Amino acid sequence: GAGVSQSPSNKVTEKGKDVELRCDPISGHTALYWYRQSLGQGLEFLIYFQGNSAPDKSGLPSDRFSAERTGGSVSTLTIQRTQQEDSAVYLCASSLGSWAYSNQPQHFGDGTRLSIL
Amino acid sequence: KQEVTQIPAALSVPEGENLVLNCSFTDSAIYNLQWFRQDPGKGLTSLLLIQSSQREQTSGRLNASLDKSSGRSTLYIAASQPGDSATYLCAVRSGGSNYKLTFGKGTLLTVNP
């Protein structure tokens, strides 16, 4: 597709359930990022993938959060045993890469709005 | 740790007015600074990216400036229109981590017809 695609656009689930969020980056973009936007807060970095390198997971808030990127393209963010404080908009972004393209902009999807009841 | 602050948090102006949004950051060792627009329920749209070696970038009615030494950037919007109403976010890519962005909390702009 032309842009970053995220699904679902909205997800409502009960506390304690697991959820999976999907991100399909722009074709050819080797770098992929997940961010979280909570009400009243700025965007918070979660995790970064670059090609086949080990991901930078330094922003994940707890071990209930994990992410993978299969085949260097689609990524899934998984939240296990969801809590109410996990309610937020989860945004995915992609870019042409890191070191060689540090001045390339990040392109964002429309996000997944996650609500934990 | 890089911190980004945006002032004001909200701004309401009449149509046609020129306006300035402010962004400040604490660590001047940045690769670039990016301004985004976010419409309600939508993702972020990149407006302008200023490299650390640049002073300003222009796109249409938008002009962004960067003063890296003082840790400041401004986004100037000329002849504002109701369609400019959105949240404007500033983000910096810092030298210590040249891939992830640190965001401000944004300025909510309302342009009244």
Q: What is the 3-state secondary structure (H, E, C) of A5-43?
A: EEECCEEEECCCCCEEEEEECCCCCCEEEEEEECCCCCE
pLDDT of residue A104: 77
Cis bond leading into B8, ω under 30°? yes
Locate B27 and state its tokens.
């660590």
Mean pLDDT within A16-30: 95
Indicate yes or no: CB of A108 within 8 angstroms of CB of B51.
no
Residue A10, pLDDT > 60, answer yes
Q: Between A31, A35, A103, which is nearest B49 by CB?
A: A103
Decide: B61 and B72 in contact? Cβ < 8 Å. no
pLDDT digits (tens, 9 = 90+) for A76-105: 999 999 999 999 999 999 988 655 556 778
Nearest Cα residue in chain A from B98: A102
Please state, in angstroms and rounded to a whole number, the distance separating the CA atoms of residues A19 and A12.
9
Interface A:B, Cβ pairs < 8 A: 62
Please state, in angstroms and rounded to a whole number, the distance separating the CA atoms of residues B34 and A49.
20
pLDDT of residue B100: 78
Please state, in angstroms and rounded to a whole number, the distance separating the CA atoms of residues B71 and A37.
24
Tell me the average pLDDT of chain B.
93
Residue with tokens 């080990």: A54
Decide: A15 and A82 in contact? Cβ < 8 Å. yes
Mean pLDDT within B105-112: 96
* Beta bridge partner(s), residue A68: A76
Residue B96, pLDDT > 70, answer no
Q: Write the CA distances from B69 to A10, A87, A94, B28, integer angstroms.
A: 42, 38, 29, 6
Mean pLDDT within A100-114: 83
Indicate yes or no: CB of A102 within 8 angstroms of CB of B49.
no
Interface test with B, best of A30, A32, A34, A43 (most B CBs within 10 A): A43
* Beta bridge partner(s), residue B44: B38
pLDDT of residue B94: 80
Nearest Cα residue in chain A from B34: A105
* Beta bridge partner(s), residue A96: none
pLDDT digits (tens, 9 = 90+) for B32-80: 999 999 998 888 999 999 999 999 999 999 999 999 999 999 999 999 9
pLDDT of residue B49: 92
pLDDT digits (tens, 9 = 90+) for A45-82: 999 998 888 888 889 999 999 999 987 789 999 999 99
Please state, in angstroms and rounded to a whole number, the distance separating the CA atoms of residues A110 and B12.
25
pLDDT digits (tens, 9 = 90+) for B69-91: 999 999 999 999 999 999 999 99
